[in-house]
Amino acid sequence: MTAPTIPLSILELVRVTEAVDARGALMNARDVAAHAERWGYRRIWVAEHHNMPGISSAATSVVLAHIAAGTTTIRVGAGGIMLPNHAPYVIAEQFGTLERLFPGRIDLGLGRAPGTDQLTLRALRRSPESAETFPQDVLELQAFLAPVGPGQRIQAVPAAGTNVLVWILGSSHFGAMLAAELGLPYAFASHFAPEELIPALAIYRSRFKPSDQFERPYAMVGVNVIAAETDTEARRLATTQQMSFANIFRGARGLSQPPIDDIETYWSPAEKAQAMRMLARSIVGSQETVREGIAALVAETQADEVIVVSDVYDHAERLRCFELIAEVARATPPA
């Protein structure tokens, strides 16, 4: 199938629901990737989250191997690995191995946040101060992925020489500045941090320094998109994600819940205000509504690529959502 005009990718949440257990979530993620490949999506990413019963992608590199084995051409990657949780050497080994198994298809998005709470950080044997060395850790990781230099005594086997494509992820100005300084592609998490999107992109583009990997800035924008046959049905499907955000504010990170007819019966005014602030850039509706929303987003941000989050409860309905979005994107001109 013809690829979308505006490059389109998927951030796969690997959701455990009230109806589907962790194994089912992992199988569904692989099925989404297979369909996305046929529909012309460029890449599918999964993110590292810990101690969250509703998300089964904690062992991110293992999940990526599972997804990549069920596909043939779509790029597969981390969106992202929370590098302060790990030794750069170990991540180089893992993603170098993935690149050897699936050459030319692996992305390594790196984030500075822990992806969990402070108590779980202790279980990971990591200190909150680990984030302070993030820039140096990125450079160290890149060095282990590069060809072995003369006299180099420590090699990341079999990663050395794979040059896995590294991205910097961010939801603030810090990631934008680092991606610009290192000349790396940048992905902004506007699917939950919309307020800083435009300033972060401006910083990234204005400060970008060409590198061996990229001569010019390359920005990918994350956005929640839920498409259905009608605006009404899409808004109903979107209540699953809205309930998940309300539950976060309640400190109740449980399983994904089926959609409801009236979200106002579920959340309080304060929870609604918090959730809608984080979901402010969401695009929810029929194909025409989604077409207009994606076109407006691309025009405003000049995004080189869009990565969508479609937190839909039912697997079949979620597949249909991604299919509708792909059809829309083929009619959306690139920036």
Residues 6+ apart with CB under 8 A from 42: 3, 7, 8, 9, 74, 75, 305
Give, as one character, the DSSP assignment of residue 316.
H
Quote the pLDDT of residue 330. Answer: 77
- Tell me the C-alpha distance between 129 and 224, whole Å: 31
Quote the pLDDT of residue 130. Answer: 75
The partner residues of 309 in beta bridges, in order of sequence, read 224
CATH of the domain at 295: 3.20.20.30
The partner residues of 44 in beta bridges, in order of sequence, read 10, 76
Quote the pLDDT of residue 332. Answer: 64
Whether 305 is in a domain gets the answer yes
Quote the pLDDT of residue 334. Answer: 65
Whether 277 is in a domain gets the answer no
Whether 141 is in a domain gets the answer yes
Of residues 15, 88, 20, 108, the one with CA closest to residue 57: 15
Dump the DSSP string for 119-171.
HHHHHTT--GGGGGGHHHHHHHHHHHHSPPPTT-----TTTTT--PEEEEEES
pTM of the model: 0.94
Of residues 312, 278, 304, 308, the one with CA closest to residue 293: 308
Instruction: Work out the number of other CB atoms within 10 angstroms of the CB of residue 171.
Output: 22
For the chain, 335 residues long, the average pLDDT of each consecutive 10-residue run is 79 97 98 98 96 95 98 97 94 98 98 77 75 93 96 95 97 96 98 96 98 96 98 98 95 94 97 96 97 95 97 98 93 64
Q: Tokens standing for 18? A: 């009230």
Question: Taking the chain, what is the end-to-end CA distance rounded to the nearest angstrom?
Answer: 22
Q: How many domains does the chain have?
A: 1
- Tell me the C-alpha distance between 85 and 118, whole Å: 12
- Tell me the C-alpha distance between 308 and 225, whole Å: 6
Of residues 33, 37, 35, 93, the one with CA closest to residue 61: 93
Quote the pLDDT of residue 118. Answer: 75
Quote the pLDDT of residue 192. Answer: 94
3-state secondary structure of 28: helix
- Tell me the C-alpha distance between 328 and 68, whole Å: 26
- Tell me the C-alpha distance between 263 and 239, whole Å: 6
Whether 198 is in a domain gets the answer yes
Quote the pLDDT of residue 5. Answer: 79
Place of tokens 């839920």: 226
Structural domain of 163: 8-235+282-329
Whether 95 is in a domain gets the answer yes
Quote the pLDDT of residue 125. Answer: 74
Quote the pLDDT of residue 127. Answer: 74
Q: Tokens standing for 187? A: 């992905």
- Tell me the C-alpha distance between 144 and 83, whole Å: 14
Whether 334 is in a domain gets the answer no
Quote the pLDDT of residue 119. Answer: 77
Of residues 334, 243, 324, 331, the one with CA closest to residue 284: 324
C-beta separation of 189 from 146 below 8 A: no
Quote the pLDDT of residue 3. Answer: 61
Whether 209 is in a domain gets the answer yes
Whether 254 is in a domain gets the answer no
